[in-house]
Amino acid sequence: MRLLHYGESDKLSIHSFDNSNIPRYAILSHTWGTDGDEVSFADLQTGGGKTKPGYNKILFCGEQARHDGLQYFWIDTCCIDTTDKAEHSQAIQSMFCWYRSATKCYVYLSDVSTRKRKIRNSSTELSWEPAFKSSRWFARGWTLQELLAPTVVEFFSQEGKILGNKTSLKLLIHKTTAIPLEVLDGTPLACFTVEQRLRWKGNRQTKRNEDAWYSMAGILDVEVAPAYSEGAASAFKRLMDEVHKLERCTQDIRPTDPRDDKKRIEETKGGLLADSYRWILDNTAFRQWHENKHSRLLWVKGDPGKGKTMLLCGVINELQGSIPRTTLLSYFFCQATDSRINSATAVLRGLLYMLVHQQPSLVSHIRKKYDYAGKSLFEDANAWVALSEIFADVLQDASLSTTYLIIDALDECMTDLLKLLSFIVKQSSASSRVKWVVSSRNWPVIEEELERAEHKTRLSLELNAESVAAAVKVFIQQKTRQLAQEKRYTPEVEDAVLQHLTLNANNTFLWVALVCQDLRTTPKWKNVLKKIAQFPPGLDSLYRRMLQQISESDSADMCLRVLAVTAVLYRPVAVAELVVLTKQLAEFVDNLESVHEIIGLCGSFLTLRDNTVYFVHQSAKDFLVTKASNEVFLNGPECVHRDIFAKSLTLLQKTLRRDMYNLLAPGYPAQKVKLPLLDPLAVSRYPCVYWIDHLCNSRLESAASNANKLLEEATIVNTFLKQRYLYWLEALSLCRSIAKGVVSMTKLWDLVQGLRNTDALNEIVYDARRLLMYHKEAIENYPLQVYASALLFSPADSLTRRLFQHEEPRGVAVKPAIGNGWSACLQTLEGHSDTVTSVAFSHDSTRLASATVKIWDASSGTCLQTLEGHSEFSSLVGFATQQPGHEAISISSDNTWITCNAQKRLWLPSDYRPSCSAVSGRSICLGTGSGKVWLCCFT
């Protein structure tokens, strides 16, 4: 970036800066005069331009910058070398960022004067206001981003007199432009839809038609390289293509929305009580972290149930209410019971999602890899490597201002915890602009890793017992007051409950919450004083007591099975999903109200929120799995996994079919799929995604006890893959879980490798996995291509292709035939050693020519003749690239589809995508960069 500077002798100079070393600067927004009026970069290089009318703007901007304590300033007319096309293009793409990063933006209104103060004595309107509202500046295209991007925008008259700023003049600007007041107040542009932002453009004009849309790129959070002469329509299309890519990338990186997780957690725990967390704001360790710029990592640690999560929720709320608009705040809540948010990659994805939502320009670091890899970037075996590199780049971004990153419950990160800890330690020392808060239990492994951080602060809840006790006391008082009002306790009973909770809570919020929850379900006529005396102090003792109550109830078998199933599930499930996964609940499939009651009987361990079943706390699940395993898992957890696996495949056999959402069109994109009112996958989503995981975790029990059971499971899987495999892949695509399907099929392949007497299963799993891996991109983005591209471009001897041959699209043939096996080279029209740059049909469609030049038989693929002697071919004489036909067969603009009448029909795998193509009737020939020529016929 080049910046202007006036030296001590008022000599104007121009300086270049790297993006990482740009000083504070002012920036000018103005309307250009006629050609030759403005001072150019070439003028500054030669010392000329001082007699041009535009030189007064330089003098004004430089003087105003010095008045505001800024040494440097930027003006578009003379800080960009427009004769250098590459520089000019890059400058246009950087413009929004430059205006956003400016300390101040000066709007010079050459058509607004302040010579008169009032129109008339009775008017409150200043004399310059009519001219202000009709100023040419508000009618130009590029000035929209110059109004919206900077934080501080000041308006000046032609005399250089200040008229006001974006805030003080917001009502006037709003009436003039119809831009919402919230935008002018600084609400991030990302908070408004693309459609809303496009409307702000209004009827603004640009000198070049394409600039009307190039000038909107920064406002829509994307970059578009200018290509003048392409026309406005093409510029708009490219702009919207970039917007759609940004939307897909943002959607794909999102595991869940941490803001929704925070809201759910607060509601599940009965709401956030300000008086129970505000003590931390005055805590010495917290203040040191918050106020000392060298203190970058705060670790909040404590035993289960001490209120760490709610404490961090309070910290988040306090920061949101106090930090400047330019400061970023991103957070993530790990939960061991939910596989979507219990891994190191999920943590980085969640944090990145929130950062990009607040500062969309940061997505450029993600797009560098995402545009090549797609969603698999976040989900395949190398996801951690890619995400950690991306995140490190984001934290080093020169445009990143002060940023707060908060991660709750590190101990609930079940996958790659050590990698996450190492990353936090390294990054917390790498940037002084980023402050971290993390929380966890008192685990030695976490302490050992975090001890390596250079700028850390530790806050132990056990060492702040007095503050925690006071917070718990406030919590007890509130809960007791609520109970007394709901249950109409007498003052004596209310006081007895208060005293018992106070004496036995042991500074543990969760213990208080669980006891109060139990009391809330106790009938009014029961002896509350006798009831409360039965609650022992300590979480484990309380859990033991509550499990005993469940075991002694009439519904013991049912409740214990529900607890067992919930404990081994990989994510929280809806009530209807729990019913189909639990054998003992089968009779309640049409009576979910009774299931709600059963879950209520497990209320000491489970809770319902938005019809989804959760554990009340991770410690509740830990107790069941580690300390009450014999009571909950009567035959071991492996048996529960096996039952869930069996129930899952039984359900999928019944529900899966072709085109479950009635998409009809083979090219219907997954991202546009909307859930039907009656979703046929409503209760099948969990089985679709996790049946293989439960099978793998049930195998140990099967192999150890009964070889017949193992064979039975192998038969069930074999039958499912032969009868429902493609329908399952379609369902996975509709569930946006194809990447998980690839991982699951790899686990299944690893599993069957070790089984004996299962050759048939080995064969189908091998073939099914290869088909999915090869066609993943097509199936993931277009669910119904599993029946088109995935079948037509699979080997002729593919077992899956043969089994589902009846699902292939009718009347479509690919020549030459695809090879027989996955491991063999694909059959091609051999002969070219370099890129095929042109292909064409003869006029009778019986011959095909391909440069350099070879003549092929169009029906058999036999090379008939090679014409020597030419080094270059501008066209294939006597042959045509487009022959008449009944349907308009063509290739999509991005070379990924064969289309019929502009409708997407067949997705092309990467090695089949053409560098050239020719059409004859209902046949299309494609030449590829590898030298391969192939033919597709629609009969």
CB under 8 A, 24+ apart: contacts of 477-480: 478/273, 479/270, 479/512, 479/513, 479/516, 480/516
What CA dihedral angle connects 37, 41, 43 and 47, to 10 degrees?
A: 140
Confidence of residue 840 (pLDDT cuts 50, 70, 90): confident
Is the same domain home to 300 and 394?
yes
Is the same domain home to 423 and 500?
no
Confidence of residue 121 (pLDDT cuts 50, 70, 90): low
Question: CB–CB of 357/428 below 8 Å?
Answer: no
Residue 826: the pLDDT is 29
pTM above 0.85, yes or no: no
Residue 858 has pLDDT above 70, yes or no: no
Is the same domain home to 519 and 619?
no
Q: Give how many domains the chain has, as a whole number.
A: 6
User: Is there a domain that residue 178 lies in?
Assistant: yes
Residue 874 has pLDDT above 80, yes or no: no
Residue 156: the pLDDT is 96
Q: Classify 168 as helix, strand or coil.
A: coil
Residue 932 has pLDDT above 80, yes or no: no
Residue 811: the pLDDT is 85
pLDDT in tens, 512-548: 988 998 888 887 667 888 888 888 998 899 999 999 9
Is the same domain home to 526 and 548?
no
Take residue 922 and report the two structure tokens written for it: 């209902």
pLDDT in tens, 589-621: 888 899 999 998 887 799 888 899 999 888 999
Q: Which residues contact 556 (CB under 8 A, 6 or more apart)?
A: 550
Give the side-chain half-sphere CA count within 13 A for 687.
Answer: 28
Residue 161: the pLDDT is 94
pLDDT in tens, 751-801: 988 777 778 899 999 999 999 988 998 999 999 999 999 999 999 899 999
| C-alpha separations of 842 from 46, 742, 919 in Å | 62, 44, 10
Burial class of residue 490, CB neighbours in 10 A (0-12, 13-18, 19+):
exposed
pLDDT in tens, 2-59: 999 998 788 889 999 987 788 999 999 999 988 789 999 999 888 888 899 999 999 9
User: Is there a domain that residue 264 lies in?
Assistant: yes
Q: How large is the angle between the packed helices 491-504 and 465-487, nearest 10 degrees?
A: 150
Which of residues 463, 493, 514 is at a domain's end?
463
Residue 530: the pLDDT is 86
Is the same domain home to 652 and 770?
yes
Complete DSSP assignment for 554-574: TTHHHHHHHHHHHHH-SS-EE
Residue 257 has pLDDT above 80, yes or no: yes
pLDDT in tens, 654-672: 999 999 999 999 999 998 9
Residue at 923: amino acid letter: S
> 572: cis peptide before it, omega within 30°?
no
Mean pLDDT of 679-687: 95
pLDDT in tens, 716-733: 999 999 999 999 999 999
pLDDT in tens, 367-386: 989 988 888 889 888 899 99
User: Is there a domain that residue 249 lies in?
Assistant: no
Q: Looking at 459-473, 613-627, 629-643, 809-823, which range is the least confident one? A: 809-823
**Residue owning tokens 């014409």:** 867
Question: CB–CB of 422/449 below 8 Å?
Answer: yes
Residue 847: the pLDDT is 63
Complete DSSP assignment for 204-227: -B-SSTTHHHHTTTTTTT------
Is the same domain home to 773 and 798?
yes
Is the same domain home to 185 and 279?
no
pLDDT in tens, 286-325: 999 999 988 999 999 999 989 999 999 999 999 998 988 7
User: Is there a domain that residue 566 lies in?
Assistant: yes
> Sign of the C-alpha dihedral, residues 691, 693, 697, 699?
positive
The order of strands in the sheet holding 606-609 is 573-574, 612-615, 606-609
For the chain, give the percent of residues with pLDDT over 70. Answer: 91
Structural domain boundaries enclosing 603: 538-628
Which of residues 423, 440, 463 is at a domain's end?
463
In terms of DSSP bridges, do strands 328-333 and 403-408 run parallel, antiparallel, or are they unpaired? parallel
**CATH number of the CATH domain containing 286:** 3.40.50.300
Residue 134: CB atoms within 10 Å: 13
Residue 864: the pLDDT is 58
Is the same domain home to 284 and 170?
no
Is the same domain home to 68 and 191?
yes
Residue 830: the pLDDT is 44
Residue 120: the pLDDT is 54
Confidence of residue 881 (pLDDT cuts 50, 70, 90): low
User: Is there a domain that residue 247 lies in?
Assistant: no
Which of residues 807, 833, 866 is at a domain's end?
807
Residue 860: the pLDDT is 44
Question: CB–CB of 535/502 below 8 Å?
Answer: no
- Name the average pLDDT for the chain: 88
The angle subtended at Cα 398 by Cα 103 and Cα 351, nearest 5°, is 110
Is the same domain home to 623 and 639?
no
Question: CB–CB of 106/36 below 8 Å?
Answer: no
User: Is there a domain that residue 417 lies in?
Assistant: yes
Mean pLDDT of 230-244: 93
Is the same domain home to 108 and 234?
yes
pLDDT in tens, 469-499: 999 999 999 999 999 998 888 899 999 999 9
In terms of DSSP bridges, do strands 25-29 and 72-74 run parallel, antiparallel, or are they unpaired? parallel
Start-end of H helices in 292-404: 308-322, 344-358, 363-373, 383-395
User: Is there a domain that residue 245 lies in?
Assistant: no
Mean pLDDT of 149-172: 95
User: Is there a domain that residue 248 lies in?
Assistant: no
**What is the C-alpha to C-alpha distance for residues 452 and 423, in angstroms, rounded to an integer?**
11
Residue 11: the pLDDT is 86
Q: Classify 26 as helix, strand or coil.
A: strand
Is the same domain home to 675 and 794?
yes
**What is the C-alpha to C-alpha distance for residues 634 and 641, in angstroms, rounded to an integer?**
13
Residue 865: the pLDDT is 56
Q: How large is the angle between the packed helices 383-395 and 344-358, nearest 10 degrees?
A: 40
